[in-house]
Amino acid sequence: MPEGPEIRLAADKIAKVIEGKVIEDIEVGLPRLLEPSKKLEGIRVEKVETRGKAMLIHFANGLTIYSHNQLYGVWKTARRGHFPRTNRSLRLALHTKQKSALLYSASDIAVYDQSELVQHPFLSKIGPDILNSELSWEIVAERLQQSRFCNRGLSALYLDQHFIAGIGNYLRTEILFAAGVHPDFKPKQLDSKQIETLARQTLIIGKRAYDTKGHTLPPTLSNKLAKTKGSYESVRFMAFNREGSPCRNCVQPIVKAKRNGRRIYWCESCQLTVSRGIKV
């Protein structure tokens, strides 16, 4: 599933094509979208934004298209009349005079009045977006210590969109690795310095993944590895999908396990374990 940085990058691409433009024609691949889509034809797009893994396309008449890619959805852009070659099912096509924004394979798509978004079953419950420019490490630290979050294992908490929206499986691994904390820790087991480090790294890794289109390596290491012929993961991640490979910090092998039904990776040397004196 695409994570927050990937959805924001897709939104950037879509915005270049439709933001500020009038949507002259709309095609839909889901029957339930036929009637509401008619209200958007001939209307200007005011803004394209993301909240976590959801994309919102706001129109000048007060309506918004909500979409969530889930596992298989993907946005594409093209010159109008030139659809990309793909076996995917077209779900939504927004045509300006010259360009098209195309959503394939997704099923979680709807049109809402903007006033209804505060009551949306997903949007009304998610936490702050990991890429929100107003989200500070202090806010993340405060949330880590809230009663509803502090007693949960970090492996579960860092997939919970109620905590921070936009974090998914690879970001979970990479953030916890960068902070040097074991995924089985709970926030209440961490001291103030560890909380601060974790909060700071949450934002650093999230922004880095956005800036580099999915890479989480520190810039100096990324530049060095870019000159090698390693696998995709070997030049992209510090720990994720690197089971058995040496830790980039201490050369101990990276461990893989399952937490919350999803694969996760860590270094048993760099990410301290509960057995090393952290009190439960």
pLDDT tens column, 51-76: 988 999 999 999 999 999 887 889 99
Give the list of residues 6+ apart from residue 203 with CB closer than 8 angstroms, or none: 130, 135, 136, 137, 140
The mean pLDDT value for 129-157 works out to 97
Tokens representing 85? 């070659």
pLDDT tens column, 243-272: 999 999 998 999 999 998 899 999 999 997
Whether the pLDDT of residue 230 is over 70: the answer is: no
The class (CATH top level) of 137-276 is mainly alpha
pTM for the complete prediction? Answer: 0.88
What ranges make up the beta strands (E) of 38-152?
Answer: 43-51, 54-59, 63-68, 74-79, 90-95, 99-104, 108-113
The mean pLDDT value for 80-95 works out to 94
- pLDDT number for residue 277: 43
**Higher pLDDT, residue 231 or 203:** 203
The mean pLDDT value for 121-129 works out to 90
The class (CATH top level) of 4-119 is alpha beta
- pLDDT number for residue 229: 66
Cite the active site residues.
2-3, 53, 262
- pLDDT number for residue 122: 86
- pLDDT number for residue 280: 33
Report yes or no: 93 and 101 within 8 Å, Cβ to Cβ. Answer: yes
- pLDDT number for residue 232: 61
pLDDT tens column, 197-208: 999 999 999 999
Domain boundaries, the chain: 4-119, 137-276
The mean pLDDT value for 4-30 works out to 95
Dump the DSSP string for 10-63: HHHHHHHHHBTSEE-EEEESSGGGHHHHHTTTTEEEEEEEEETTEEEEEETTSE
